[in-house]
Amino acid sequence: MSRNNPINPTRLSTNTAMEESPIITPLNEEQRKAVTTPPGPVLVLAGAGSGKTRALVHRIAWLIQEHGTAPWSIIAMTFTNKSAREMQNRIEELLIAPTRGLWIGTFHALGLRMLRQNWQAAGLPEQFEVIDNADQLRQIKKSMEELKLDEKSFPPKQILWRINACKDDGHRAHNLPGELSKDEIFSLVYQNYQKRCQQLGLVDFGELLLRTYELLKNNQIVREHYQNKFEHVLIDEFQDTNHIQFQCALLLSSSHQNIFAVGDDDQSIYGWRGARVENMLGFNRTFPSASTFRLEQNYRSSGYILQAANAIISKNSGRLGKRLWTNQADGEPIQIYRSYSETEEAQFVVSIIRSSVASGSAHNEHAILYRSNAQSRAFEEQLIAQGIPYSVYGGMRFFERAEIKNALAYLKLAVNRDSDPSFDRVVNMPPRGIGKQTMDSVRLTAARHNTSLWEASLLAVDDPETSSRSRESLKRFRAIIERIASLSKDRPLDALVETSLHESGLIDHYSKDRGETAISRIENLKELVTAAESYTSEHSQEGPSQREDELNLFLNHTALEPGPRGTEEAHDSVQLMSLHSAKGLEFNTVFLCGMEDGLFPHQLSISEGNLEEERRLCYVGITRAMQKLYLCHASSRTVFGKPMRCMPSRFLAELPENLFPDARQSSFQRQNPEMNPGSGDATMTDIFGNALELGCTVHHGKFGEGTVINAEGTGASARVQINFPEVGQKWLVLNYARLKRI
DNA sequence: ACGGCTGGTTTGTGG
DNA sequence: AACCAGCCGT
C-alpha cells in the first residue's frame, strides 16, 4: 500500500505548480484525475492494488492543502479500525501538520460519536452502553425467557442473526417487510428485545448504525448541523456499505453532494452482513452528474499472481468489468501444495516461512490466510513449537474475554450505578454468596419499584425480610463499587484500573486457581492495565480532560476497538488472519490455506448458493500477495473432533495451468505437488516405492516423523529435505535414509 | 451456594 | 476438541 508508485508523473503533467506538490506528484494519471476532480459526486472504481487508499488519502490531503478545505469539514468513513488508523497516519505524513478536527473512522465509531453528542435527540439515556454480540445474545435469551419461548424450537443465535439483518436494512420490529412480518414469534422477540435495550440503555452494533440514520433523518436541527459542518463526505470500501450506511452518507451530503466514494465491486465480501453492491453499481443513477474514474493498473502483484486473480474473478457474472494489468514481470510461479492433514499443512507452511526468514525475509512479510478463524489453531501450534513470532488477528477479541468484561463491568458500575447488565455480571463474581435466591428477590424488587438493580439492592439491604447473609453480601458488593467510584475522581486511569482489579477481588479470585487458563486470565487483566496506560498516553494530546471523562472515554474505546494494539504491528511477526480481515492489506508472501470444498468455499455458502461472494473472497486472498503465493489444501481435516476427507477447492480448478510452469500434470487433482521442478522425470519414492511429495509426512528411524519440504537430484544422488518438528530440517539421501511414507 | 461432572451441541466471515 | 446447560453432591 505504501510502496512508491513506479510511474514518473512529471512527464505526464502539464501543470508546473502541481509538479511540485507531494500530494499530486506520486500519482499516476488516472489517480491524479480522481484526486483533483472538482468537488461533487465522484466514484472511483479501483481494482485490487491499484492505489485505492492512496487515492482517498491524497484526495483528503488535496482538499485540505490545494482546495483550502478545513480539516474539520471533512468526514471519512472506513470499514475497519485498522484502515482508519492507516489513513489517518498517511494523511498526517503527507501534510506534515497534524490534522485537527478531521473526522475519520469506521461507520460504527462515527455513528457512536454522533449519538454521544446527541443522545437526547437520539432518544437514548446519557449513559447508554454499546454491547457486543455476546451481550446481545444474552439479552435476546432473556427476552425469550420472558416471553416463555423455548430455545430449542427458536434458536437464539438465529434470532440474533435476523434482528441484525433487519437493522442493516433499516427495519424496526413494527415495520417488518413482507414475509418477516408474518413471523409473529420473531417480531415479538425483536420488539421485546428492543424494549429491553431501550430500558437498559443498550445499543448493539446494528443499532449504532440504525440510530444514527434515524437521528439524521428525523431531526432536522441535527441533520443540518452536520450537513453544514461537513463539506465533504468520503467513503472507503464503498462496495461493502449496507443500506443504512449509504443512507447516512447521502443524508450528510445531500445539501452539497460532495461525496467521494472509492470501491471495487470484485471485492464485495460482506453481503452476509447486509452490504449492497448496488449502492456502487447504481451510483451514477443516484447521482447523474457523478464523475467516474477507473484505476486498473496494479502496482502490487507479480504477473502470475495477477493472472491467477483475473482468472478466478472472470468466472463471476454481473461485474462492472475491470481488467487489472501490470508492468511487472511474471515473477515466481504460484505453488499448490497438498498435505495429508491440517497439522501437516501447518508444518509445511511454517517450514517454508522458516527457510524464507533464514534467507533474509522478515517474519511480517508472510501472511497465513484462511477462511475461518478456527483454522489458526494448527498454525499457532506449529509456530509456537518452532519458536517463530506470530500475531493472530480476529477471533476472540481482547475486550470480549470474560475476565476483561468482568473488570470492565466494575468500572462501568462506578461510572453508572444503573448499568444492570454490569450488575448482573459481577454481583457474584468473584463468588461472594449472592446466588439465585438473593438475585431473584432483588430483581423482583427492581421490577416492583421500576428501578435499577443497584437501587433495588439498596432496598434489599434495608429490608428486614432479606436474610442477613444476603444483606451482608450485598452491602459488601455495594461498598466495593462505591470505593472504586471514589477512586475514579482523583486517580489516573491506569492506576484506577489496577486498583479496581484488586478491590473487586478478581485478581485474588483468579490467583487461587493455578491452572493454565487462570494464569492467562491474570495476564490478560494485567494487559488491561497496560491498555489503559497506553490509551491515556495516546489520547492525552487531545486536550485536557477530567479524570471521570477519561474513564468514560476509555470504556467507549473498549466497545469498538479490537484490543491493545501496537504490539502486533510494531513487532516483527508472521501475520495470521481470515481472508476477510486481510482485505486492504498486502504481503510479500501469502499462504492461502484450507483450499478445500466445504471449507473454502464454505459449505454454508455452497448451500446458500452464494458462490460468487466466496469467489470474490478468493480473489481478495490472491491479490494480497506481492511476490509469492502458495495455495494449500489438505486431503483430510478434523471437523468436530472427527477426521473428514476433503476434496480440493473448486477454485483451484479455475486456475489456468500455464500459471504453474513447474507442474507437469495439468489437473491439480492428480498433480501432487511435484518433487523436483524442472529436472527430469525421476519420481522419488520411499523404501516401499510409495511416491514422496512435497508436504507429505515420512518416518525416519532416528529423527522420527517429519514433513518433506524440498527435493533435488535423481538416481543415487536424489535427496529430500525434511522438516522434523523435534530436530529441525535435514537433507537426507534417499538411498541411505530408509524413509517410510506415513 | 457452588463447583464439578456429563452429555449434547457446535464453528462463517466483523464492527 | 471445546463449550454449554443442567444435574448432583458437598
State the cell numbers at A488. 475514579
Using the structure, give the distance in angstroms from the CA atom of A536 to the C1' atom of B11, rounded to a whole number: 36
In this predicted structure, what is the pLDDT of residue A70? 94
**Residue A592 β-bridge partners:** A369, A631
Nucleotide with smallest C1' distance to residue A271 CA: B13
How far is residue A239's CA from residue A33's CA, in Å, rounded to a whole number? 21
Beta strands A697-700 and A704-712 are antiparallel
In a 13 Å sphere around the CA of A561, the CA atoms on its Cβ side amount to: 15
Distance A105 CA to B6 C1' (A): 47
What grid cell was written down for A369? 490466510
SS3 A335: strand
Q: Which residues pair with A106 in a beta bridge?
A: A78
Find the nucleotide nearest A517 (Cα to C1′): C2
DSSP secondary structure string for all residues of A111-126: HHHHHHHTTTTTT--T
Q: Which of A471, A468, A504 is nearest to A485 (CA)?
A: A504
User: CA A487 → C1' C3, Å?
Assistant: 37
* Strand C lies under 7 A from the Cβ of residue A641: yes
Catalytic positions of A: 52-53, 236-237, 267, 624
Name the CA radius of gyration of chain A, rounded.
29
Report which DSSP code applies to A334. Answer: P
Answer yes or no: is A640 CB < 7 A from strand C: yes
A176, containing H or E segment? none
Residue with CA nearest B9 C1'?
A640
* Enclosing H/E stretch for A635: none
Contacts 24+ apart (CB under 8 A), A712-719: A712/A676, A712/A679, A713/A676, A713/A679, A714/A676, A714/A679, A714/A680, A714/A682, A715/A682, A718/A682, A718/A684
Q: Is the CB of A436 under 7 A from strand C?
A: no
Distance, CA of A513 to chain centre: 33
Distance CA A264, CA A47 (A): 6
Among A352, A239, A266, A339, which residue's Cα sits nearest to residue A588? A352
Exposure of A25 by Cβ count < 10 A (0-12 exposed, 13-18 middle, 19+ buried)? middle
Q: What are phi and psi of A702, to 5 degrees?
A: -100, -40
CA distances to A325, A357, A493 from A333, in Å: 17, 19, 53
Q: Which nucleotide is nearest to A138 (CA to C1')?
A: C4
> Strand C nucleotides below 7 A of a protein CB?
1-2
Strand ranges for A173-258 from DSSP E: 202-203, 232-235
Average pLDDT, consecutive stretches of 10 residues, N- to C-terminus, chain A (742 residues)? 36 44 85 96 95 94 93 94 88 84 94 96 95 93 88 88 94 88 88 94 96 97 96 96 96 95 95 92 94 95 95 90 89 91 93 93 96 94 92 89 94 94 93 89 92 94 86 93 92 94 93 82 92 85 67 91 66 93 94 96 91 96 97 92 91 87 40 34 64 75 76 68 71 80 78
In angstroms, the CA of A549 and the C1' of B1 are apart by 38
Distance between CA A124 and CA A112 in Å, rounded?
12
Q: Which residue is closest to C1 in terms of CA–C1' distance?
A: A641
Evaluate if the CB of A688 falls below 7 Å from strand C.
Answer: no
pLDDT in the model for residue A690? 72
Q: How far is the CA of A273 from the C1' of B13 (A)?
A: 9
pTM assigned to the model: 0.85
3-state secondary structure of A647: coil
Nearest nucleotide to A560 by CA–C1' distance? B15
Crossing angle of the two packed helices A107-117 and A205-218, in degrees rounded to 10: 60
Q: How far apart are CA A293 and CA A656, in angstroms?
A: 30
Nearest-nucleotide field for A274 (CA, C1'): B14
The separation, in Å, between residue A644 CA and nucleotide B13 C1' comes to 22
Residue A673: the pLDDT is 39
A110 CA to C4 C1', in Å? 36
Please name the helix (run of DSSP H) or strand (run of DSSP E) that holds residue A594, with its range, or none: none
Please report, as a single letter, which amino acid is at residue A501: L
- Which residue's C-alpha is at the least distance from the C1' of C3? A640
Name the closest nucleotide to A141, judged by C1' and CA. Answer: C5
Largest pairwise CA distance in chain A = 93
User: Nucleotides of chain B within 7 Å of a protein C-beta?
Assistant: 1-3, 10-15
**A636-639 and A642-645 beta bridge pairing:** antiparallel
Is the CB of residue A152 inside 7 Å of nucleic acid strand C?
A: no
A185 DSSP β-pair partners: none
How distant is C1' of C5 from CA of A632, in Å?
38
For residue A642, give the nucleotide whose C1' atom is nearest its CA.
C1
The secondary structure of A463-509 as a DSSP string is -TTS-HHHHHHHHHHHHHHHHHHHHTTTS-HHHHHHHHHHHTTHHHH
Nearest residue: Cα versus C1' of B12:
A372
Nearest residue (Cα to C1') for B10? A640
CA of A483 to C1' of B12 (A): 44
Rounded, the Å distance between the CA of A712 and C1' of B13 is: 40
Q: Which nucleotide is the nearest neighbour of A641, by CA and C1'?
A: C1
Give, in Å, how far the C1' of C10 lies from the CA of A609. Answer: 54
List the A703 CA – C1 C1' distance (angstroms).
28
Residue A464 CA, nucleotide B5 C1', distance (Å)? 38
* Protein residue minimizing CA–C1' distance to B13: A580
Return the closest nucleotide (C1') to the Cα of A204.
B15
A396: nearest nucleotide, CA–C1' criterion: B14
What's the CA–C1' distance between A457 and C8, in Å? 30
Nearest nucleotide (CA of A607 to C1'): B12
* Phi-psi region at A203: left, alpha or beta (left = phi > 0; alpha = psi -120 to 50): beta
- β-strands A202-203, A719-724: how paired? unpaired
Q: Which residue is nearest to nucleotide B3 (CA to C1')?
A: A431
